[in-house]
Structure 1
C-alpha cells in the first residue's frame, strides 16, 4: 500500500516545488533578469494561495457579469463583463481568473530617457504617488486593452489634492524600468476619492499634484509658436529701434531713451535664443563646442539685460510718479546704462570664467511621462543655483516691483479721470459721455502698454503649472514681445506728432507727459 502511494506523494512534492506561493512571486520576480512586471503578471496567474487575505484577490469569476472588488479599504475597482470576456480569449470557459492586489510604489523604477528635441515639462517624482501604493489588476490569460467599456478604479484620499490617474508602462530601453503614463485613463475627483476610468488592465496609481505634461502634438505646436514668434519679434524690434531713434532725435526724452535700451536688450534676447536653439542641433553628442558656450553666455547676458532694463523702467516710473520733486540726476541715462548693461556683463563674465556655460540637458517628459532630453546652449545642469538666482529670483523681484508701479499708474489715472469727470459733469448727471469713454479706452491702452514695457507678461510663467492653456498664453505673449514693443512705439510716435498740433485732453496730456516724456 505505501509503495502504491509513493508515486502520488512524489508527484505532489514535485508539483508543489514547481508552483510558487503568491506571497513570494513579487520577491522572486525582483531578482530575475527580465522585466519584473512582466514576470509578475505571468507567474501570478499560476501561483498557489497559501493564506487567504482580503488585500489579495485571487478567484475565478463568471465573465457574463461585471465584477466589483475592494482589495483594501482605500482601493476598489469595477471591471465590466466585456473586459472579462476579452481576457478569456478563445477559451470556451464560463469563468476567468481575476487577480488584484496592492503593491508599494517603491518597486517601480523610472528608466533612462530617450532622446527628443520637443518642448516638454518635468516628470513627476515617485514620491507623488498617492499613498505610495499601486493597484495591480489582472484578468484571464490575454492582454486587455482598448476596451469599449472601460474599467473603473477608486483611490480614496483624506485631503483636497490635485491628481492624475496613471498606469505603469514598461521602458523598451532597459528591463525593470518604465514610466507613469496617462494614456487611456481619465481622472475624476470627488471630495474623498479619485475615480479612474481606463480602457485596459495594468498597474494603476494616482500621482498627487503632478507637474503638468504636454503631449507630442502640443509640444510641436509650442515649438513652432516659440520659433515663429521670436522671428517676428526680431523683425518688429528692429522697426521699433528705428522709430525710437527718430523720436530721440526729434525730441530727446529720457523715457524714449529707456525704451530704446530695453528694445535693444529684447533684440539680443530673441536673436541669442534662436541661435542657441538651432546651433545645438548641429553638435555631436561627444563634441564640446566653444561656440555653444559662447552662445550660452550671450543668452544668459541678454536675459539678465532685459530684466535689468525692465527694472529700470519701473524705477523711472517711481521717480516720476512718487518722487515727483527733486528728481534731477546729472547724466541720468548714462548712469542707468552703466547699471542696465554693466551689471549683466559683470555677472556673465564671472559665470563664464567659472565655466558654467555649455549644453543644458534637462530631464523632460511628454504627456505619457516618457522621458526625453532637450538640449540648448545655456548653463550646464550642475550649476542650477546660479540659474535659479539670476533667472528666477531676480526676475520675480522685478515683476513684483513693477506690478506695484503699475498699480500706482492705475491709481494716478483713476484720480485724474475722477477729477476731470466731476469738473465736466458740473455736479449734474453721472452718465459718461462718448468723449469720456474714449478717454477711458485710451487709459486702458496705456496700462496695457505699460504692462508690456514693465515685463509683466513674464509673470504668467506661474500659469504654466496650472493648465495647458496657461502654457500657450505664456508662450505666445512672451515670444511676441517685439510686436507689443512695436505697437507701443507706434503709440508714442503718434502721441509725439499730436503734441505738436493741439491738446484736447488736459488731464490725459498731463499724465502722459509726467509718465513718459519727462
Structure 2
C-alpha cells in the first residue's frame, strides 16, 4: 500500500514542480517565444494548487447538459449555456467537462499596433483602446475544443461603480506575428450597462475585459450651463474679433509693422473659428432636413480648416516672437508676411482638401451620459462618425498638431519671461523700490496677454479630465479668446500712442521701440 502511495505522490510532485503551480503558469508562459495565451489556456487545466484554493481561480467539472455559473471574484461572474459546454466536448461522449475561470492582471497583455489593411473588412474598426476596468482580465476555458460562433452567447458580468462610463466589452486577439502582443477587439461581443454592472454577451470563450474611458460626470445642469457659456463666449468672441480687426487695420495704416500684420491674420483665423463653431453647432435649427448632406460636410470642412488655421497662426506668432527676441538684428526677410501667409493659410487648406477628398467630413454624433446614466446624443457638423479612420485623422490634426504648437509657444513664453528678468536685472530694478511694483504688474500683464495670443489656454485640456472646475476654466478661457485678443489689441494701441509720445520727447526711444517684442 505504501508503495502505491509513494508512486502516486512522486507522479503528482513531478507534475507540480515550482513552475507548474497555477500561480506561476503565466510567468512561465510569458518567458517562451510562442503564444503565451495559448500556453496559459493549455496549462491552467492541469496545473497544481499550492493550497486547497487559489485566489481568483476556479476549476471544476460541470455537467454539459446544464447551465454553469461561476464567480472567480466578487466583481466577476461567468454564465455559460449548455450549448457552449457541449461544443467544448467535441466528439467525446463524457457528460462532464472541465471549466476554468480566473482573473489576470491586465499588465500582462501588451498592445501591438493596429492591424493593417488587407486583413478583412472589420480589421480596423474592431481595434479598441482605453483603460481596462479594474486592470482585470477574465479568462474562461471549457473542455478541450475551441468554443466559437455560439448561437446562445456566454454572459460575463463585470461590476463597477457609477463613476465609470463608456464601457465596451472586448476580448484579447493576438497578433498574427505570434510575438505575444495583440489588441482588444469587440468582434462577437455586445455590451449592456445596467448602471452597476457591465454585462458582456459574447459568442465565444477567450480572455475578456471591459475597456472604459473614465469621464467626469458633469450632470445635466452643468452640461446645460457649459453649453450656454460656450455659445455666449463664442458670440462675444465673434463681436470682439471684428473690433480687433478694425483696430489692427487702423494701427497698420498709421504705422505699418509686421507684428500687427501677424496679429491681424491670427484675429481673422479666430473669427472664422468661432463663426464656424456656432454654425456647426446650430446647424439643426438653421437647415432643413433635406439640406443636411453636402451643407453639413461643408460646415465641417470650414470648422476643421479654421481650427488648423488658428493653431498655425499661433505657431507663427511664436516664430515671430523668436525672431524679435533672439535674432534682434538682421531679421529682415523679403516678403516676410507673404511667406507667413502661405504657411498660415496654405497648410490648413491643403490638409482639409485631402480630408475632403477622402470623405472625412459629415455628421458627428457624440453620446453623452449624465450622473443618472441617462443617455443623450449631441450632433454637429464635424468629422463624420461613419468615417472608419476618423480617430486617426482627429488625433493627428486636432491633438498632435495643437500639442506641438502649445509646447513650442510655451518655450517662447519662457524665453519672454527670461528676457524680461534679464532686462530688469540689467537696468537695476532692485534700486527702484517705488517703480518695482508697477513694473512687476506690467510684466505680469504682458506675460498673460502673450499667453492668450500664443494659445496657451488650450493647454488646459488635460484639466478637463481631473475636475469640474477644470472643465469650466477651460471652457471660459477658450470661448472668450476673441475677447482677450481684443484686449491685447487695445494694449497695442495704447502702447503705440505711448511710444509715439515718448519718441517726440526723446528721439532715442524710437530705436528701443523697434527692438521691443511688442512691435
TM-score category (smaller protein): 0.5 to 0.7
Query: In the aligned structure 1, how far is the partner of 2:348 from the partner of 2:164?
Result: 46
Shift of 1:465: 1.4
Question: Is the CA contact (8 Å cut-off) linking 1:269 and 1:303 kept in structure 2?
Answer: yes
The TM-score, its normalising length taken from structure 1, stands at 0.60
Query: In the aligned structure 2, how far is the partner of 1:515 from the partner of 1:488?
Result: 16
Question: Is the CA contact (8 Å cut-off) linking 1:254 and 1:517 kept in structure 2?
Answer: no
Question: Is the CA contact (8 Å cut-off) linking 1:213 and 1:369 kept in structure 2?
Answer: no
Structure 1 residues 29 and 295, CA, compared in 2 at 3 Å: closer, same or farther? same
Is 1:289 the equivalent of 2:289?
Answer: no
Query: In the aligned structure 2, how far is the partner of 1:486 from the partner of 1:272?
Result: 19
Shift of 1:132: 5.4
Shift of 1:211: 2.8
Is 1:408 the equivalent of 2:415?
Answer: yes
Query: In the aligned structure 2, how far is the partner of 1:494 from the partner of 1:472?
Result: 31
Shift of 1:305: 0.6
Structure 1 residues 408 and 182, CA, compared in 2 at 3 Å: closer, same or farther? farther
Query: What RMSD, in angstroms, separates the aligned Cα atoms of the two structures?
Result: 4.4
Shift of 1:178: 3.8
Q: Secondary structure at the match of 1:258?
A: helix
Query: In the aligned structure 1, how far is the partner of 2:216 from the partner of 2:258?
Result: 43
Query: In the aligned structure 1, how far is the partner of 2:434 from the partner of 2:310?
Result: 39
Structure 2: gaps (5+ residues): 1-65, 72-76, 84-102, 104-127, 139-158, 167-189, 198-208
Structure 1 residues 506 and 472, CA, compared in 2 at 3 Å: closer, same or farther? farther
Query: In the aligned structure 2, how far is the partner of 1:514 from the partner of 1:292?
Result: 47
1:151-162 → structure 2 map (5 Å cutoff): none
Question: Is the CA contact (8 Å cut-off) linking 1:180 and 1:368 kept in structure 2?
Answer: no
One of 255, 271, 278 as aligned partner of 1:274: 278
Query: In the aligned structure 2, how far is the partner of 1:20 from the partner of 1:272?
Result: 57
Shift of 1:355: 1.6
One of 249, 265, 270 as aligned partner of 2:269: 265
Shift of 1:210: 2.3
**CA offsets, 1:263-299, max 9 Å, x none?**
0000000000000010135668897521111101110
What's 2:145 paired with? none
Is 1:395 the equivalent of 2:402?
Answer: yes
What's 1:188 paired with? none
Query: In the aligned structure 1, how far is the partner of 2:259 from the partner of 2:165?
Result: 57
**CA offsets, 1:296-350, max 9 Å, x none?**
1110110011011101000001111112232110111111111111111111122
Q: Secondary structure at the match of 2:368?
A: strand
Query: In the aligned structure 2, how far is the partner of 1:401 from the partner of 1:273?
Result: 26
Query: In the aligned structure 2, how far is the partner of 1:367 from the partner of 1:508?
Result: 61
What's 2:467 paired with? 467
Structure 1 residues 287 and 493, CA, compared in 2 at 3 Å: closer, same or farther? closer
Query: In the aligned structure 2, how far is the partner of 1:488 from the partner of 1:386?
Result: 33
Q: Secondary structure at the match of 2:376?
A: strand
**CA offsets, 1:183-206, max 9 Å, x none?**
9xxxxxxxxxxxxxxxxxxxxx99
Query: In the aligned structure 2, how far is the partner of 1:397 from the partner of 1:415?
Result: 27
Structure 1 residues 168 and 479, CA, compared in 2 at 3 Å: closer, same or farther? closer
Structure 1 residues 410 and 507, CA, compared in 2 at 3 Å: closer, same or farther? farther
Q: Secondary structure at the match of 2:318?
A: helix
What's 1:127 paired with? 132
Question: Is the CA contact (8 Å cut-off) linking 1:164 and 1:182 kept in structure 2?
Answer: yes
Is 1:213 the equivalent of 2:217?
Answer: yes
**CA offsets, 1:481-516, max 9 Å, x none?**
011001101111111111122279999998764344
Q: Secondary structure at the match of 1:362?
A: strand
Is 1:449 the equivalent of 2:449?
Answer: yes
Shift of 1:21: 9.3
Query: In the aligned structure 2, how far is the partner of 1:353 from the partner of 1:168?
Result: 35
The TM-score, its normalising length taken from structure 2, stands at 0.60
Structure 1 residues 514 and 128, CA, compared in 2 at 3 Å: closer, same or farther? farther
Question: Is the CA contact (8 Å cut-off) linking 1:265 and 1:305 kept in structure 2?
Answer: yes
Shift of 1:27: 3.8
Structure 1 residues 508 and 411, CA, compared in 2 at 3 Å: closer, same or farther? farther
Query: In the aligned structure 2, how far is the partner of 1:164 from the partner of 1:512?
Result: 61
One of 321, 337, 342 as aligned partner of 1:338: 342
What's 1:304 paired with? 308
One of 372, 375, 378 as aligned partner of 2:379: 375
What's 2:233 paired with? 229
What's 2:483 paired with? 483
What's 2:256 paired with? 252
Question: Is the CA contact (8 Å cut-off) linking 2:162 and 2:371 kept in structure 1?
Answer: no
Query: In the aligned structure 2, how far is the partner of 1:223 from the partner of 1:507?
Result: 52
Structure 1 residues 513 and 460, CA, compared in 2 at 3 Å: closer, same or farther? farther
Query: In the aligned structure 1, how far is the partner of 2:220 from the partner of 2:331?
Result: 53
Question: Is the CA contact (8 Å cut-off) linking 1:164 and 1:207 kept in structure 2?
Answer: no
Structure 1: gaps (5+ residues): 1-18, 32-71, 73-122, 134-154, 156-162, 170-175, 184-204, 426-431
Query: In the aligned structure 2, how far is the partner of 1:475 from the partner of 1:508?
Result: 41
Shift of 1:473: 0.7
Q: Secondary structure at the match of 1:252?
A: coil
What's 1:502 paired with? 502
